[in-house]
Structure 1
């Protein structure tokens, strides 16, 4: 199932492109609009562009999961899924095949985004990450893909047609972009929206990405700045989350993503397995 689904997905060039569309939009928004407006408030730093480019890459790296489930929707719409259910394969295995496919595609597309972003940062004069940081980033990619693709699989499990899938992808993709602070720095949002972001599971992926990707830029920009300024910037750009005056350590974000992945994958498997209209 996984091998078959991967072949179908990567054979459809349009599907791959639209999976990367949110990433392309974030890069375009930064280059055309966000970069200059935010950089204008960071002119006191020696290298504000490095800081913002790393922030942009961290935001773009977590928006690729929803497009990985188009194969399942197509199988539902053309009734191919009934053929699987009539074969000597359990429903749980069929559901698991779609879910594992989504997880793998999410990892692949996230790695591609990271490579593309690193090339962009290198050409733009940013710091190229060392091997240790890249290995940590790969671990974050796997963890982030685990959680985000779990949520995506749960959402997709309720959809039957490509039209509903396209609509959901557009709406959810845009909403997630705002809720992880991909389009606007979290500190620029109203207080009640900031709290919503901090309790949104995928936003914790963004925190882990930013802490790793922005580390060289922070070192280059804040070596001679007061600690209070660095603290304010970290909160503004979602590099850390603060709850009631306490800064959440990285392990909190890791725990949130692990729990989110387990819960939503179990829910997705249950929905895909037990839906009566697919008997």
Structure 2
């Protein structure tokens, strides 16, 4: 634990010393929010209005649905700064120098993982706080304290798993230029893959079946349930039976698999399984590197 703490402190110090890295990580927040406000909000507001929701609540429901999804996107894009440090360390050979100390390759990767999780979590929580201020000022409604605590836990877990996904993709890259290209591509498509930018029913069936197992898609659905919990009463009032379920299925709050709505327990089971796969993959990759190093040493001695 002491070695892990040292690695995390070192990574955070590098991140804070690079002012441009901090600025770019923070800049991803207004960029993502602006993408929704200027390009998607009117289109999605019209769609929600056409679904039969009362005109008095269309804008609030749309903003709550979309803001919850944007949190998952922001949670991913703010990981890039720390993951870039990981790639840079690999390219410069610093990660190999760490092995002189009594640390394992997996512990080194865990240091980047934990640091990325902490940084991403802080940025996302600040965004969530700003969102609550907006909803209070604009609509006069806030999430109950118990819901806010659930959002906090979801963000923490989301930071953990999104950082792990990025680390799986990036930990073998040896060039920050290559990582920058990858980050641009991943940051562009993650909002669509997670179902944050467009309603879930927009996608073809074959893509839905694939995205069902993509952790950010499940996280978007779970956090949206919390954000629209205050809307359940006034959206459903005066409408036909099953209206609320239909709206939530169409807009990606409820995910359907084999004609059945996934329960929250099933969704969390998928996420925990994904986290286990990430852990196993990173451990195996670390083990391969250790074996490779051992073989190189034996060749030099012979």
Please state if 1:157 is matched with 2:171: yes
Q: 2:15 aligns with which of 1, 9, 12?
A: 9
Please state if 1:60 is matched with 2:66: no
Which deviates the most, 9-18 or 202-211? 9-18
Please state if 1:93 is matched with 2:92: no
Q: Superposition pairs for residues 79-90 of structure 1, below 5 Å? A: 79-90=93-104
Q: 2:200 aligns with which of 186, 189, 192?
A: 186
| Displacement of 1:36 | 0.8
Give, in whole Å, the separation in 2 of the partners of 1:111 and 1:179. Answer: 22
| Displacement of 1:20 | 4.5
TM-score w.r.t. the length of structure 2 is: 0.84
- Confirm or deny: 8 A CA contact 2:48 2:62 kept in the other structure: no
Please state if 1:222 is matched with 2:236: yes
Kindly tell me the number of residue pairs found equivalent between the two proteins.
279
| Displacement of 1:126 | 5.3
Q: 1:116 aligns with which of 103, 127, 130?
A: 130
Give, in whole Å, the separation in 1 of the partners of 2:188 and 2:293. Answer: 30
Deviation string, structure 1 residues 204-243 (Cα, Å, up to 9, x no partner): 1011100001111333322222233212211111101111
Q: Name 1:35's counterpart in structure 2.
A: 41
Q: CA 1:109–1:266 in structure 2 vs 1: closer, same or farther (change >3 Å)? A: farther
Q: Name 1:104's counterpart in structure 2.
A: 118
Q: Name 2:57's counterpart in structure 1.
A: 47
- Confirm or deny: 8 A CA contact 2:113 2:160 kept in the other structure: no
Q: Name 2:146's counterpart in structure 1.
A: 132
Give, in whole Å, the separation in 2 of the partners of 1:87 and 1:247. Answer: 50
Q: Name 2:288's counterpart in structure 1.
A: 274
Give, in whole Å, the separation in 2 of the partners of 1:229 and 1:277. Answer: 61
Which deviates the most, 149-158 or 102-111? 102-111
Q: 1:240 aligns with which of 254, 276, 279?
A: 254
Q: CA 1:190–1:50 in structure 2 vs 1: closer, same or farther (change >3 Å)? A: same
Aligned to 1:128, the other structure's residue is in SS state coil
Q: CA 1:226–1:117 in structure 2 vs 1: closer, same or farther (change >3 Å)? A: same
Give, in whole Å, the separation in 2 of the partners of 1:16 and 1:265. Answer: 27
TM-score w.r.t. the length of structure 1 is: 0.91
Give, in whole Å, the separation in 2 of the partners of 1:18 and 1:258. Answer: 31
- Confirm or deny: 8 A CA contact 1:140 1:205 kept in the other structure: yes
Give, in whole Å, the separation in 2 of the partners of 1:20 and 1:197. Answer: 28
Structure 2, unmatched stretches of 5+, are 1-6, 297-302
Aligned to 1:227, the other structure's residue is in SS state coil
Give, in whole Å, the separation in 2 of the partners of 1:10 and 1:266. Answer: 30
Which deviates the most, 125-134 or 187-196? 187-196
* RMSD over aligned Cα atoms: 2.2
Aligned to 1:124, the other structure's residue is in SS state helix
Give, in whole Å, the separation in 2 of the partners of 1:119 and 1:105. Answer: 22
Q: Name 2:3's counterpart in structure 1.
A: none
| Displacement of 1:101 | 1.3
Deviation string, structure 1 residues 113-149 (Cα, Å, up to 9, x no partner): 2112222222322521121111111121122222222
| Displacement of 1:18 | 3.3
Which deviates the most, 152-161 or 183-192? 183-192
| Displacement of 1:16 | 3.1
